[in-house]
Structure 1
Amino acid sequence: MAVRRQAPVVAIRAVGSAVTGVWCLLAALAVAPFSADAETAADDAQRLQPITVTATRNPIDAFSFPGMVTALGRAEIETRQPSSPDDVLKMIPGVEFTGGPRRTGEVPRIRGFEGADVIVTIDGARQNFDSVHDGRFFLDPSLLKRVEVLRGPASSLYGSGGTGGLIAFQTLDAADLLLPGETAGTKVTGGYRSVNSERFSNFTAYSMPLAGVDAVASITSRGSGTIRLGDGNHLRDTDDDILAGLAKASWEFAGHHRFEASATAFRNDAREPNDGQQRFGQEVAANGLVQKDVRSASFSAAYHYDDPTNRYVDFDAVVYRTQFRVDELRLEDVSGGPAGELLRRDVGTLGMRMDNRSRFPVSEATHVTLTYGTEYWRDSQDGGDGGMRMGQPDANANERHGVPDADARFTGIFAQAEIVLPDPFGDESGSLLVIPGARYDSYRISSSNRLGADNNRNELSPKIGVTWLPTDRLMAFANYAHAFRAPTADEIYLTGSHFPLFRGPGELVGFNRFEPNPQLKPQTTRTVEVGAGATFNDVFAKQDQFQIKATHFRVRGNDFIDRAIRQVFPVPRDCVPFVSDQVRVPAGPPNVFRTGCEGAAFSANVPKARLRGTEVDATYDGDGLRVAFGYSTIDGENEETGMKLGRLAPDQFTVDAAVKLPQLDSVVGWRLQLADRFDKVNDPADARAGYAVHDFYFSWRPVQLLAGFGVDLGIDNAFDKAHTRVDTAAVEPGRNFRISAGYALAW
């Protein structure tokens, strides 16, 4: 057992040494002389690099961008047979989901930042739901055609929440599903996953009836039960039934205009603990089971104007409305509350964004693209508050208090330039891409529950990024950025019980309670990032390619918003039940006092914090083989106390290797997730063992005799490895056999 536990540690340390070698190799390549013949240059020109739009709000290839951004297309998403966004994104370096195996509790984390520190959009609409023990957003991956993930500060273009990065989801279009000459089609898909007995079905209809008109509608159903874990136990009370849908239409007219309307909906009826991130045992029994009804809907309408002959106007505008509702109805009379008690949370966002790009050619090879615009959104939260609703008496006396009624308004203006300079250091010195930008934001957060004063601030978020491409094959980049994240309404105003306290079996002595903190300041960060990359063509065969990009970043944070729990464990025998630990109660004799049992959970500003990390992305792509490698490491602490920050991750290495079998219209592959032992903790109980998890998959898409059919097979966690992620109470799912099959008919 000891040998098996050490294997991931040794492997990760070997990877860390290899990463050091990668940096040395990239540095050597950056200064080495380079020559290429005309044929190789022509081959390079034919290869198309992944394009990102979210990183700069202007199309740019991901390799040249001065930072780390990943774009996943529909084919790659389908191959992963995802049942949640975690399945889509878990192989990206620096990105992970915490919260446990239950889908309602999954929370994305980028470079140590999670929750409101990560901006999430669906078709341009912000997803601003925030809850202590629920997920960050709710979306079924069957509706997706593309996702872009920007790792690192994004406030200079996107405002509050851009300290960790950005996840931008895009939903399906009919054009993604139809071949040239086809005008309409339907697709039906079904699937099964053994680890939780999940049954999945999807029906999609799509059409392009007229030139420039695109319409698609899709509906997905999932039902699952108890999850079998890697340690052989079963995570019970995980039943959920999901219904998700998409309706979308677009119209291109008059040559340069495009209008698009999109609506997504998601509903999950789940029977699980009040805290869906819990495992089992006393913690579940204490809080009791709830019937959790999760609903979300997102509506957006977008307009785009782009006339290639008009270099001054390339205009985008989007208006959107998102709505979340999470109801938790207690099913049992337990210490956490009586059966029939309802915890209600409604969160709505109304927003708009407008931006334009103007292009100014300075010379034949030098040009400037200026992107500028404005954004506004308003978040409104309405929650049950112990017989009160919007500050007034509520007839529903069974509502559980704690969720504050709150309102948050954000306004921002931004501008960014992309400057391309040829031969910046003399003849044959390549090209230099310089991207300076800044955004000014103003916000105000208030609560009608009279829990404290309004919270309002103004923030300026400048950024500058530089990429030097000495040749078409090599690049080096650096960037410096400020970012900020306003505190959320829950962080400022949340009250109510967090978890029950027991002094012995069945002896309830109170609750750890949420405490509001209206004085919370916005979290601000300053990030310095440097990196390099290289592309090699015709490595092992004609037309193959190997590409690698690595970065190292350092983040300094002021007023870092961190979670804190004040509670004595085990609960003292002499504490006063149901009294705050901040209260001293006379014990009888003069000058003798006892303190209360009840501690608190609250958000607080860490005056100074720092993070540092390294990421490596590498891909080899040939006619018969595609291999993607990823590596990430991160560490951080409170600069004043030296205590570790609460949202770190172990060193991780990933591999995704796929063998292409064109003669069989198939792909067969293997994925590896390798994590080092996690010991960057203040409490040894938070440490996690290292692990290695292997997945295998097979995809078949016939293109002739059975064209339209598709089959995907897979085995997740093939060797049934028991492993637990950081900040997660439950062991991850065990071995999972999965299958999906579909048929598409188009005409």
Structure 2
Amino acid sequence: MKSLLPTPSLSLLLPLLLAIPESFAASTPAELELPPVTVYGVRSISPGKTSISSAEIERQQALTVQQLLDNLPGVDLNGSFRPGGQSLNIWGFGDVEDIRVQLDGANKGFEKYRQGSIFIEPELIKRITVDKGAHSVRFGNGGFGGTVQIESKDAADLLQPGQRLGGLAKLAWHSNDGQRLGSASVFARAEDEAALPWQFLLAVTARDSGNQRRADGSEYEFSNTHARSVLAKLSLPIGEAKLTLSAIEGRSQAWSPFAAKRDEMPAPTAAEIAKYGEREAWLRKVLWRDQRDSSQTLQWQYAPAAQPLLDLQLRLTRSSSVQDDQRPDSISSDFAASLGKQSHASYRDQQFELSNTARFATGALGHELAAGLQVQRHQRDTLMLLHTRTQDASYNYGWLQPYYMPSGQQRSLAGWLEDEMRWGRFSLKPGLRYEQVRTEGQPNLAPRYNDPKAGHDYSAAWHSGWSQHLAASWRASAAASWFADAGRSWRAPVIDEMFEVQSAAASAPATSRGLRKERVTALRGGLKFQQADWLSDGDALAATFTAFRNLVHDNIHKRFGVMVEPGSVRPAQLPFYRNLPGYRSEGLEVEAHYEQRRYFMTASLAWMDGEHRGSIRDPWSAKNQPLIDIGAPKAVLVLGAKWPAHGLALGWQGKFVGAQTQVPDDEIVPYALPAAKGYAVHGLFAQWQGRGRWAGSRMQLSVDNLFNRSYQPYLAEAVYAPGRNLKLSFSQQI
């Protein structure tokens, strides 16, 4: 094994949106609809949202969901290129609790230190929608960066018109890491299409690969993949209602570094190799990781056509992400700061949601009134073994919860209401949400970290409050529409922030039950242009310009540097976390899609900026500090041609990322990322869809990093990206 501009103010947009000429009052409410425009079956855009369809998912042939989203404006992959070491950053929000992810409505998120956050097999996904910013009262308690909604495949997505039973087999290969992918699906639906038919889908996938390679040919140690996934989905008609049950299970096993978000592993020394042998010497640097991820959703929908006041939805979901780690038997060190000799981490979520949408009119004003009730429960269980402490009672004889990753549960109860009111070409949608959150820690098994004299208090704490949102849109012409969103939301401290502790001898040993809510004021607005037959008959253009600004107050962070305000008395039991003054993030995005019969184009551009009030180390500093999690300027351009009669499409993709130099000084701010250089990466792709007797055959060919460029994305924390990668897949449907 070898290692080798001036800041834009979005508040100026709102008066413009409210200045509506009276001449538009006679327009019909139907003219106000802003349906997404799909270009080449790849991507659709609507105000504030971008969706990726199954066509682009297949084209990219990505290893992870995070890689799929990395080409979107304002969205960046955060972490390494190991499959288990990736999370997301949206609009400068990079913490797991700031990006809400749902799979078929089930909450997903894994907050374990230095690990990835989403473990969903892309082969099982039909669509991903990203709604950037905290701009919906349907979701609460976090998600300041936005919401990522992932939908699994349905039988209807695979069955051909008139087909009742079918199957699909797919094989794929990647050159960089020798990856092999195999997947198979069977799907069926009812014979009678006159009524709402039942549908069934069963799909399984398997991925195996060696280590990825950087552009210089060196191996990216312990980046191999061994994963299995299965999806089962059933839709049943019950009178005028529809019941859908879906379940997704995934499992991976591999040797991995404790911190999957890292680059090169430190190679064993000559002395270690001589003592243990080369393989054992390498394995002493890592651990065996068994990871399991699952989601189950039951959804009931009742929307009788004759009853516009009824569109009832009931959804029950469960999800879990579990990691079990085991270090080699030859290890003698404790590794107390990295989860010991053995560790177990389990994150489980349950949710009940009931909602209804009523559609009606009051005079010339059309309404779409929606209301909902949500009950959620998050359970976190952790445990580790310090095998050199098995005789020490203060460490519970070696078995304890990691003091930096405590166990506990968080429950929330919420109700929300929003009314979309349409009048002519103008729409106004106010929304309101109330939520109550109860967070309780689990007392540590080790007396060392369960000491009331040190301020260790694991009892429950409550947070509650209102969230408000206002959205407005105005269709200025048949092709152009203005839109704006303004909202205020909040999040309660997560379990880690409230109950992480240190021993009594540390400088800040206590739990942080007194933390205030973290709050955000979110602004978003811009222009959407959408027109068919733009340059020629049969073509289409869809484009958006979006500006945003987020003002965060009382942000929560670990306490270090200047521990208390100068001149104040330092408490004897200082909490480990504190509220800081806050920060801002802002930016601009442009996204455009154009298509005609023979050609297509997608282009996007994103720029962001942000800074803390004071600094993370010294909240009382008069000097503001650049925001650590701001992505570098990024442009992505896709150009292609197609020959529909032959089922053939070819294209080129270029990603152009600017340098990021607005970073804090490492000597002043712990956890700061190093400045990064700009880079450009090119790729090619081709797709063939069979015709006639080959109608069920499909082939995808693509090349990533065509010129084998060596580069380090800023948010990858100085991790080198993989080198050139040829990807080939073939599928056959019957």
**AA paired with 1:361?**
A
SS at match of 2:692: coil
State the Cα distance separating 1:519 from its structure 2 match.
3.3
Match for residue 668 of structure 1 among 642, 650, 656: 650
8 Å CA contact 2:508–2:559 kept in 1: the answer is: no
8 Å CA contact 1:248–1:263 kept in 2: the answer is: yes
TM-score normalised by structure 2 residue count: 0.82
Matched residues in 1 for 2:680 and 2:410: separation? 43
Match for residue 703 of structure 2 among 715, 731, 741: 715
Matched residues in 2 for 1:334 and 1:630: separation? 52
Partner of 1:88: 68
8 Å CA contact 1:341–1:399 kept in 2: the answer is: no
Match for residue 305 of structure 2 among 304, 308, 311: 308
Match for residue 208 of structure 2 among 223, 227, 233: 223
8 Å CA contact 2:135–2:486 kept in 1: the answer is: no
SS at match of 1:247: strand
Is 1:273–2:279 an aligned residue pair? no
Matched residues in 2 for 1:448 and 1:601: separation? 17
Matched residues in 2 for 1:131 and 1:678: separation? 27
Matched residues in 2 for 1:274 and 1:513: separation? 25
Matched residues in 2 for 1:666 and 1:445: separation? 55
Is 1:77–2:57 an aligned residue pair? yes
Is 1:250–2:245 an aligned residue pair? no
Is 1:213–2:198 an aligned residue pair? yes
Q: Which shifted more, 265-274 or 678-687?
A: 678-687
Q: Which shifted more, 399-408 or 108-117?
A: 399-408
Partner of 1:744: 733
Q: Superposed, which structure 2 residues align to 1:318-717 within 5 Å?
A: 318-331=315-328, 333=331, 337=335, 341-363=341-363, 366-385=365-384, 397=398, 401-402=402-403, 403-422=405-424, 431-449=425-443, 451-452=456-457, 453-494=459-500, 517-562=512-557, 604-640=578-614, 641-683=623-665, 686-717=674-705
Partner of 2:178: 197
Partner of 1:54: none
Post-superposition Cα deviations, 1:270-316, rounded to whole Å, max 9, x if no partner, equal 21111011112449989930111111111110000111221111011
State the Cα distance separating 1:707 from its structure 2 match.
1.4
Q: 1:280 to 1:606 in 2, by over 3 A?
A: same
State the Cα distance separating 1:320 from its structure 2 match.
0.9
State the Cα distance separating 1:723 from its structure 2 match.
1.4
State the Cα distance separating 1:131 from its structure 2 match.
1.4
SS at match of 1:720: coil
Matched residues in 2 for 1:412 and 1:726: separation? 37
**AA paired with 1:252?**
P
Match for residue 136 of structure 1 among 87, 100, 117: 117
State the Cα distance separating 1:400 from its structure 2 match.
7.1
8 Å CA contact 1:121–1:167 kept in 2: the answer is: yes
8 Å CA contact 2:544–2:590 kept in 1: the answer is: yes
Matched residues in 1 for 2:185 and 2:559: separation? 46
The alignment covers a number of residue pairs equal to 650
8 Å CA contact 1:386–1:401 kept in 2: the answer is: no
- Please state which structure has a larger fraction of its residues in strand: 1
Matched residues in 2 for 1:636 and 1:446: separation? 33
**AA paired with 1:133?**
R
Matched residues in 2 for 1:562 and 1:219: separation? 41
Q: 1:333 to 1:692 in 2, by over 3 A?
A: same
Partner of 1:9: none
Q: 1:565 to 1:273 in 2, by over 3 A?
A: farther
8 Å CA contact 1:273–1:287 kept in 2: the answer is: no
Partner of 2:619: none
State the Cα distance separating 1:606 from its structure 2 match.
2.2
Post-superposition Cα deviations, 1:164-198, rounded to whole Å, max 9, x if no partner, equal 10000111111110112100111110111111111
Post-superposition Cα deviations, 1:576-616, rounded to whole Å, max 9, x if no partner, equal xxxxx99xxxxxxxxxxxxxxxxx99654321211111111
Partner of 1:106: 86
State the Cα distance separating 1:257 from its structure 2 match.
0.6
**AA paired with 2:246?**
S
SS at match of 1:663: helix
State the Cα distance separating 1:101 from its structure 2 match.
0.4
8 Å CA contact 1:606–1:638 kept in 2: the answer is: no
Partner of 1:730: 719
8 Å CA contact 2:231–2:248 kept in 1: the answer is: yes
Partner of 1:41: none
State the Cα distance separating 1:209 from its structure 2 match.
3.2
Q: 1:395 to 1:247 in 2, by over 3 A?
A: farther
State the Cα distance separating 1:62 from its structure 2 match.
7.4
Post-superposition Cα deviations, 1:480-509, rounded to whole Å, max 9, x if no partner, equal 111222222123223589xxxxxxxxxxxx
The unaligned stretches of length 5 or more in structure 2 are 25-30, 269-281, 444-449, 451-455, 565-573, 615-622, 667-672
**AA paired with 1:132?**
Y
Q: 1:337 to 1:546 in 2, by over 3 A?
A: same
**AA paired with 2:245?**
A
8 Å CA contact 1:231–1:731 kept in 2: the answer is: no
8 Å CA contact 1:342–1:399 kept in 2: the answer is: no
Q: 1:631 to 1:623 in 2, by over 3 A?
A: same
**AA paired with 2:541?**
F
Matched residues in 2 for 1:664 and 1:247: separation? 34
SS at match of 1:185: strand
Q: 1:330 to 1:286 in 2, by over 3 A?
A: closer
8 Å CA contact 1:155–1:163 kept in 2: the answer is: no
Matched residues in 1 for 2:323 and 2:723: separation? 29
State the Cα distance separating 1:201 from its structure 2 match.
0.5
Partner of 1:505: none
8 Å CA contact 2:135–2:522 kept in 1: the answer is: no
State the Cα distance separating 1:736 from its structure 2 match.
0.4
Matched residues in 2 for 1:282 and 1:442: separation? 46
**AA paired with 1:468?**
W
Partner of 2:106: 125
Q: 1:447 to 1:656 in 2, by over 3 A?
A: same
**AA paired with 1:528?**
L
Matched residues in 1 for 2:485 and 2:267: separation? 45
8 Å CA contact 1:342–1:398 kept in 2: the answer is: no
Matched residues in 2 for 1:122 and 1:208: separation? 23
8 Å CA contact 1:724–1:731 kept in 2: the answer is: yes
SS at match of 1:175: helix
Is 1:49–2:36 an aligned residue pair? yes
Matched residues in 2 for 1:420 and 1:62: separation? 23
8 Å CA contact 1:277–1:729 kept in 2: the answer is: no
8 Å CA contact 2:32–2:426 kept in 1: the answer is: no
**AA paired with 1:634?**
M
Matched residues in 1 for 2:108 and 2:285: separation? 29
Q: Which shifted more, 518-527 or 298-307?
A: 518-527
State the Cα distance separating 1:128 from its structure 2 match.
3.4
Matched residues in 1 for 2:214 and 2:560: separation? 29
State the Cα distance separating 1:152 from its structure 2 match.
1.1
**AA paired with 2:589?**
E
Two-structure CA RMSD over aligned residues (Å): 3.6
Matched residues in 1 for 2:257 and 2:135: separation? 35
Q: 1:62 to 1:185 in 2, by over 3 A?
A: closer
Post-superposition Cα deviations, 1:222-273, rounded to whole Å, max 9, x if no partner, equal 012211113443211222310111011001232x210000000111112111
Q: Which shifted more, 240-249 or 279-288?
A: 279-288
